[in-house]
Chain A
């Protein structure tokens, strides 16, 4: 693992990206003992518009807490894609929800597309879990954190009533990642 990994989760307000950032930070920080910082853009954007949550993960002390170049960029809306694509590092991984992001600039060789919100609706009957599915995809594509750490962090942060569907969403995301990897090869 690189000394410092910068993750940017972006989309629209209400998609649960800040919670996803917190869960990712807890999975890496609490359950895997790494250093983590989670920040978010916060402002008028919180009511719709582009929204983002940033997580920096490192083996050692994290000095600058914000993302300067994303190693992993998740885009769940076209708006977010247009806004944050320039922050993607040259060999960074781009994950796009192809049901909402139609125009994905092929800036990186590691560009992955999947209709995340469509799959969420079809397989789980609920679009609200696209944040958790996305975390499963990140775990499946990158091994940044293990699926088990993510599962523990999800169970710890999420209300009991929606735990089951989020556990399923996490696994679903992991499977989507395996498929995307096969398609790439």
Chain B
């Protein structure tokens, strides 16, 4: 190991999120503490003032979401952190950020739900809410780490994606990942790729704030630096003013939808474990992927050719890779700490090309490897 001991830290998932966000350039945090995400707010309150950034503890989750939108429009990379109940409250303003193409990151450390649910226990019940929680047609990016090191790197990715594609990005943790401690090697700043939003290259009088470049993404001027523009939650034209022109409406909706869909290849991150000769594929994400990794080992010890597709990007859904895999394996098993959410997407993509089954646990406990292995054995014997 050539890193000095100072760079190796034993960090909680939430602490790694803070370190990643700060290195990615986040300088504004507004939030309302909620278990199991509170250590993110705590870390931000400690570090941001030292770095010339701003930490604001807001009156509630709705206002927190509004505040990070405002800060981002002003030019700061912004992040908020919450859990299920707060994520629900943020949905309205999340839609506002989507329609106005405002870069920001929302961390949701998932706990049991609905409502107040199980504050201190893990769940993966907000996967579909991350996709469709706010109303209307839209795209979204959502990432789900399964190790503390991945929390660090995917937080940086989340900030980068938000800046690159002018979109909110959701980082989906769960209580296990948020609170567990593992080693993270903190890289030097120059080892990290940092993406900053594109600024306009035209003079202020020619600037159209919602007119995309060739790459589909409109350049974004900081509010108050001389480029006049307008924000509204209404469907708007390229100037930012409300429109009821069918052509402009259609264009706007398709634009915010397609800018992410067209870049899906660059956004969908996943890891393949022992899939080359696999007949059974586990599809897992978040803390459950850690149990699945063990299952692969245990199953192979018994001669069952099992592999794992670990999803790091949940939205956009990695359709291509799954579709390819469906031609190879006989069975896909999707273990989740919910009653079957991502399995629905797997079924949609697989289209009956292989068998898809679900394994679910919603009692506030992390799924353990033995129970998944048992499920595989049962299926084989059928």
Contact = CB atoms under 8 A, between A and B. Distances in A.
Partners in one complex: yes
Contacts of B370: 68
Interface residues of B, number: 23
Interface stretch (B53-61, B287-295, B328-336): B287-295
Contact of B291 (A22, A38, A64): A64
A36 interface: yes
A147 B124 CA distance: 40
Given A64-B369, A66-B366, A68-B370, A37 B293 contact: no
A25 B297 CA distance: 24
Interface stretch (A39-47, A90-98, A100-108, A111-119): A39-47
A25 B10 CA distance: 8
From B5, B180, B182, B370, name the one whose CB has the most chain A CB atoms within 10 angstroms.
Answer: B182
A175 interface: no
A37 B120 contact: no
Contacts of B236: none
Contact of B368 (A26, A30, A66): A66
B120 A43 contact: yes
A37 B180 CA distance: 7
Contacts of A40: 179
Interface residues of A, number: 21
Contacts of B8: 29-30
A35 interface: yes
Contact of A38 (B1, B180, B368): B180
A68 B368 contact: yes
B131 interface: no
Interface in A40-65: 40, 42-43, 62-65
A39 B366 CA distance: 12
B23 interface: no
Interface of B: prevailing SS: mixed
B211 interface: no
Q: Which of B5, B10, B121, B291 has the most CB of A within 10 A?
A: B10
A35 B179 CA distance: 17
A131 B317 CA distance: 46
Nearest to B148: A37
Given A42-B120, A63-B290, A37 B297 contact: no
A125 interface: no
Nearest to B36: A42
Contact of B290 (A33, A36, A65): A65
Contacts of A68: 368-370
B121 A25 contact: no
A146 B346 CA distance: 48
A42 B179 CA distance: 9
Contact of B180 (A31, A33, A39): A39
B287 A36 contact: no
A62 B179 CA distance: 16
Interface in A54-94: 62-66, 68
Contacts of A36: 10, 181-183
A38 B9 CA distance: 13
B368 A29 contact: no
Given A66-B366, A66-B368, A68-B368, A39 B179 contact: yes
Contacts of B366: 66
Contacts of A43: 120-121
Given A30-B183, A64-B368, A39 B293 contact: no
A75 B51 CA distance: 44
Contacts of A33: 1
A65 to B, nearest CB: 5
Interface in B110-147: 120-121
B183 A35 contact: yes
Contacts of B287: 65
A38 B10 contact: yes
Contacts of A64: 290-291, 293-294, 368-369
Contacts of B291: 63-64
A131 to B, nearest CB: 16
Given A43-B121, A64-B369, A38 B181 contact: yes
B117 to A, nearest CB: 13
B51 to A, nearest CB: 24
Interface string B350-382: 000000000000000010111000000000000
Contact of A30 (B10, B179, B290, B293): B10
Smallest CB-CB A-B distances: 8 pairs? A63-B293, A38-B181, A63-B294, A64-B294, A43-B120, A39-B180, A29-B183, A26-B10
Interface of A: 22, 25-26, 29-31, 33, 35-40, 42-43, 62-66, 68
16 contacts: A22-B181, A26-B10, A29-B8, A29-B10, A30-B9, A30-B10, A30-B183, A31-B5, A33-B1, A38-B181, A39-B180, A42-B179, A43-B121, A64-B369, A65-B180, A66-B368
Given A30-B8, A43-B120, A68-B368, 4 more contacts: A22-B181, A30-B10, A38-B10, A66-B368
